[in-house]
Structure 1
């Protein structure tokens, strides 16, 4: 199974991607985790990414696209994957389409998690305290949510038109959300 998990920051994409990864025995690939690993280890990629993330800006497409392409071509992703945090804009949708065509793969579904802005702000404030993430200041959070609404949310319409979109309420017990996603995926992907 090849999935995208989408939604605004703080909606629980990473948590759900990890659970789906275990359920379907496929890797969860988070562009944010890849960048954070490189930032923590002060690699050239990490330092370049940090110059953007500390200001609440997205890492440029060229850099993100090359990381995703490399990761999808790795052996553990041959039988499926879950992408978390990619694509974030229309240009990345085109880049992903080209990558999949080159790899001879197709996207099975796009899971969109939804939650209100108040819930998202509360979750990210809690995450900032617990994890000490430098990119979770109130100003950066607000900018990221605005960027999501402007650039990423419209992508859901693209995937809806392609018949791939599954929308799930991202508020509630983690297991209930995960079970709802799995039920939708199993019903929709097997029906195709």
Structure 2
């Protein structure tokens, strides 16, 4: 996946588009490979991709499986400019100690907290608390699974950094992304 994403970033640069950051989900098996950092940078060098353009997404359960190894890998990746996102935050162990200890760049708030946020006072308060906590720790907060205008409106009032979900677009194939980028490029001319 990293190779395909890096190749695509290289293609976009050759087409004259500004580089687009991309997030990649990693499984625990992939993340805990002994040579993960050197493998990642080998691909970056092969395709001339800046590490700042990649965000690796890991899950909370990964953090507790092998804390010292995860800490070591995260430290190496961050030293080289790769951002780390904690995916599906709030559905697993959600320990505040992990937020302090592992210093991720982004918290991706799970859809289960977003669904019905405009109707549920408790969910709104939980999301507000997570946004405040994460931002005070220097993290960007992403709301996953935004599907309705009402959800988006509430999240904007709470000061969320980013949102993703069907409200904006369903998943699209790469050729559709290319068309969208070309359309945006033409609009700027």
TM-score normalised by length of structure 2 = 0.31
- Structure scoring higher RCO (CA < 8 A, sep ≥ 6) equals 1
Larger radius of gyration: 2
Structure that is richer in helix per residue: 1
TM-score normalised by length of structure 1 = 0.31
